[in-house]
Structure 1
């Protein structure tokens, strides 16, 4: 029986969307307010979903307490109340768009969670704007 379980978490981060290869005018036109040189913040909602087979001995697909602990240790501690551009190594050379943040989180968690589980990241940047990786 294939099933999906999900864990919702929350973190606050600041960032600036900026391409250093572009002029200030182009950055302003493309990224608008998100290009503020003094940064801006979001209250991100993160949903981590795992899909796979239920373990018949436990009845679990994956222990959600363990999933919570993994997310806290490898994502929240690194991103919560941080400036993603300045305080994390992940976005020193990578524009911290919602798309890239979701991809980075997926890569971090993929290293911690057994490959037998499909891993999906859903990241809400605002109540109305969110991304999913992978996209299927």
Structure 2
């Protein structure tokens, strides 16, 4: 398998439910998120140019992130899910899997030292 990865950035607020009253993530707060998508293909599935997918094809994802995630309150955007990094990664994957069939994983970082990854089971 060959893979490509592209990184996107957005800033948003959230408040996580189901935490102890004194847990800092239970309060309204925000992050400067980093979101990475991984796309994979077998060598036989590469485009004639040798790409898994042209990076330019990911411009629509960038526009979607800017419109629906950037400077938003994620609790309002992801109404049916607690907006943890894990749930954000899965939600993005589920929203983009049809448009990007090569999508194999979505990673979300809330801080420079923490990452959550959603990769569907094989």
If the length of structure 2 is used for normalisation, what is the TM-score? 0.86
Q: How many residues align?
A: 119
Contact 2:85-2:110 within 8 A present in 1 as well: yes
Find 1:78's aligned residue among 68, 71, 88: 68
Contact 1:75-1:105 within 8 A present in 2 as well: no
Contact 1:75-1:108 within 8 A present in 2 as well: no
Q: Deviations over 1:63-113 (max 9, x none)?
A: 00112x132233332101101113x1x2x2311111111110110111211
Find 1:109's aligned residue among 88, 96, 99: 96
Find 1:65's aligned residue among 52, 56, 63: 56
Q: How does 1:25-40 map to 2 (within 5 A)?
A: 27-29=20-22, 32-36=23-27, 39-40=28-29
Question: Which residue of the partner structure matches residue 48 of structure 1?
Answer: 37
Give structure 1 stretches of 5+ with no counterpart. 20-25
More strand per residue: 2
Larger radius of gyration: 1
User: Aligned Cα RMSD in Å?
Assistant: 1.9
Give structure 2 stretches of 5+ with no counterpart. none
